[in-house]
Amino acid sequence: MTSCLCQQRTFAPLDIAEPDYRRIVATHGVMSGFGELVSCFRKTTSRTEDAFCGPFIQQESTQSIGRTPGVRIWWPLIILLEVAYMFKYPERNGRTDGADPWSLRQMAVYQQHNRYTGQDTWIVLMCRHRSLVWDRLVHLLRPGVPTISSTLTSPRLHEELLTCHISDWRPYMLHYEETVSQTVGVIVRVAMCSGGPDN
């Protein structure tokens, strides 16, 4: 079972009404800490704030399923395994007007695995349509794909999402290194031209 909430700007409040959000949480039995991820989607006041890391949550839910005959001990069974986290990644925005060609995106992922039923629930927040991450997600979750593990011990889908844009980090950083270098060069030249031999 998978739910995806997509919108164009990933650094903006979620485009979903509160009753709808509460219905999703109640329907899927989502952990209470999932709200911490939702709170990370807001309008930022600076580029520095864009780089702040989001929370990582992992927990197990247990349930007593019975007792061994003749023994007065109820044996707990780990029923639900849950993990929720946020990650950020750079992406070329396709601008041709001379503006910054890179944008920083963010995405939240929630997975719940029921060991008793074998069912998985995935909730992905802010995956942009027509993006590399979106295309990878649709491909991996389509029916009949046998490569996706249904447990958290071998998180193939998590690996696929986290590494989707890993190759973009280097050109992203090089772009800003060059920008800073050019700015520093201009400042140095201006300082040298404005100064005299007695300065």
Tell me the domain boundaries of the chain: 2-64+74-164, 166-199
pLDDT per residue as tens digits for the range 41-77? 877 665 666 666 677 888 887 765 555 555 555 555 6
The pTM of the full predicted model, rounded to 2 decimals, is: 0.73
Regions of the chain short of the pLDDT cut 50: 149-153, 196-197
Q: Please give the pLDDT value at position 45.
A: 63
Percent of the chain with pLDDT over 90: 2
Q: Please give the pLDDT value at position 174.
A: 92
Q: Please give the pLDDT value at position 66.
A: 54
Could you please report the per-residue DSSP string of the chain? -EEEE--S-SSS--SS-HHHHHHHHHHHT--TTHHHHHTT-S--SSHHHHT----EEEEEEEEEEEE-TT---EEEEEEEEEEEEEEEEEEE----SSS-SEEEEEEEEEEEEETTT--EEEEEESPPTTSHHHHHHHHHHSTT-TT--SSTTS-HHHHHHHTTTGGGHHHHHHHHHHHHHHHHHHHHHHHHHH--TT-
Average pLDDT for the chain: 75
